[in-house]
Structure formats: C-alpha cells, structure tokens
Amino acid sequence: MPNSTSQPNRTEKAERLNKFLAFQLGVSRRQADDLIAKQKVYINNQPAQLGARIGESDTITINNHIVGGRSSYTYLMLNKPINYVCSRKQQGKTPTIYSLLPDKFHNLKPVGRLDANSSGLLLLTNDGDFAFRMTHPKFKKNKQYNVTLDKELAPLHQQIIADFGIQLNDGLSKLGLSRQSNQDRHNWIVSMSEGRNRQIRRTFAALGYTVIKLHRTHFGTYKLGTLGAGDYIVINP
C-alpha cells in the first residue's frame, strides 16, 4: 500500500501535478511530465507518478527545492503594447512580452492572449486555478475592448452582431456593442465573455470590416486605468 503521505488531501480541490509544474516553472506540460518520469519530482518526500493530482497541503519538491505553495503565486497586470507577442520566443523581429518584464517574472503565463496587433490589459500568473477561473467560459468573465474599424459600422450590421450573432467556423459570435461617442460609428466599445482566437476581428471581417485598432481595457473586475503602455503592476486577486 502506498505511503499515505504521498497522496494529496482529498478534501481539497485537486490539481494535476503537470499543470501545477507548468505554471510554476514556466515549462510546457510535456516538459513537466518528463521531469516526473525521470523521478525528479517528489510529493511529500515520495516520488511523483505521471497523472498525479495534488492538493494545497501537499509539498512539491524538485532536487530538494520546494516548488510553489500559495505564498509563491504571483499576479501581474501588464498594459501590452502593439507589436509584441504573448509567446516566450520572439517571432521573427517581433519581440515577446517577456522582454518588458524582469527575469523574475519570466515563469508567469498569460491568462488568455492578445495578438501582436492588439494592445491593452493582459494578466499573467503562475496560479493555474486563477487562470482557469478567468478564462473558462462557464465563469463568464466579461472582457471589454476599445475597437476602431476601417469604416462606419452600419446600423443593420450593429444589430446583427449584437442581437443575432455571426456564425463563424468555430461557432456563433455575439458581441456587446456601444459607441464611444454618439456621432462616431468608427469607434466602438466591444464586450464579450468568451475568448476565441481573434474572435472580434473575425466577427467584423465576416461583414466586410477590418479592425484597425483593438485595445483591451477590462477583464473581469480588473481595469487597465492609467497604466502606461509597456508598464505592469503586481495585483492581488
């Protein structure tokens, strides 16, 4: 019978070990599984097994160094400028968002993404549960964007997008729309609780519009406020 100290506390919400390691170490889940398979990872002083789940009271170590623990979770809000990618590796000449952050934050992962041509509020963390709560559709976290179109949005198209939705190749897309000013039909405040890849851009493109500016200002209860482009702050969820 396995030593009971190697098992997570079943009264707590269990998390997959590889997911936990991926967020804590800034590696992929496959790389985390490789560490586990090589028996470099221990749960409560017992070698971890592939597929293991852990609870908050479990102690995770790699090479005798403790990994994680709620006190080690970090949460950042970054005002992402355009022409930066959210991946860890630079894409061609396009720099990564990690070049805007000190090395000590390079293990954090984006909570959702903004494409290179989009700017604004980006959350980063090493807390997998927080990322899940912020991004899974069942939690309906509202996101708000300032969007500029290449031409005026026709009233009929506004009604179609807001009231009926646009059928995209990955499902129906329905967006909340309000004008940034009463006399302007180029600039819109767009709200949504989903986060499919380039959803806003694809929705407008389906009706013949090009999004020339997309800037996220709100994500759930978090607001960008006056945070400057390229700047970040540590937040407490």
Q: What is the distance between the alpha carbons of residues 70 and 60, in angstroms, rounded to a whole number?
A: 12
* Vertex 78 angle, CA 72 and 83, to 5°: 130
What's the 3-state SS for 164-189? Answer: HCEEECCEEECCEEEECCCCCCCEEE
Reported as type and span, the H/E element at residue 36 is: helix 29-37
Does the CA dihedral 27-31-35-37 come out positive or negative? positive
AA identity, residue 105: F
185: Cβ–Cβ under 8 A, 6 or more apart, which residues? 152, 153, 179
Q: Which two tokens stand for residue 90?
A: 């630079």
Catalytic site residue from 33, 58, 103, 115: 115
Q: What is the distance between the alpha carbons of residues 112 and 115, in angstroms, rounded to a whole number?
A: 10
Give 219's DSSP letter: E
34 is catalytic: no
Active site residues: 115
